Amino acid sequence: MIRLKKTIRNLLIIAVLLFLFMQFNGLYFSPVQALHASEKDLHFGPSEIVHSFDYGDSRYFLTRYEDFVSCPSIEKALGVFWRYGGGYGSPNDKSRPLFYQEAKGEGDWRIFGVRNDVSIAYLEATLHDPEGKGAPITLTCKEFYDDMFCLIREGEEHLMSITAYDKAGNIVYESKYRE
């Protein structure tokens, strides 16, 4: 009986220490818990999760809250836990046929946003590397999730232009940043 009491006591101590360790280090058991904690810390949300996907050791969420859109990354930590990184919401400018944000993380680049014009069937983002070496890279997005999209690539890319097309291949929206 004494052995059973000691075992129960030790298990309770371990559970309390694990809880404290997770709280002080911002660790969560699921990526959704980490996302909601991130939004709570930013006084944003709770947002609707439109789509989520894994890339590397991270999970990305396309989210919508009122007229704001975001694509925060949730990082895997210590093999079984999740930790949120930087994330913020941007107001959707509905006067533009295509609203998007460019974001850079640790070792990745992404562009996410909303198509406000339903005639947009796909979009292309043209990138070049920071040193200007090599040919431009074109990423194509043909999948939209409740009119939201995300393109992601490893490295530190720089957006040169983004072009949106309708089903017939006509340009609906074009924006150029760099040549």
pLDDT at site 22: 67
Yes or no: say if 57 and 76 are a contact pair by the CB < 8 Å rule. Answer: yes
pLDDT at site 149: 92
Q: Which CATH class is domain 97-179?
A: mainly beta
pLDDT at site 41: 66
Yes or no: say if 61 and 52 are a contact pair by the CB < 8 Å rule. Answer: yes
pLDDT at site 139: 84
Nearby residues of 120 by Cβ (< 8 Å), 6 or more positions away: 97, 98, 164, 165, 166, 172, 173
Q: Domain spans of the chain?
A: 97-179
pLDDT string in tens for the chain (179-residue length) = 788 888 888 888 888 887 777 676 677 888 888 888 877 767 677 888 899 888 888 888 888 888 888 888 888 887 788 887 766 778 888 888 989 888 777 777 888 899 998 999 999 988 876 666 777 878 888 999 999 999 888 776 677 888 899 898 888 888 876 55
pLDDT at site 130: 62
Two structure tokens written together for 111: 């562009």
Yes or no: say if 61 and 35 are a contact pair by the CB < 8 Å rule. Answer: yes
Query: In whole angstroms, what is the distance from residue 44 CA to residue 13 CA?
Result: 35
Residue 72 DSSP label: -
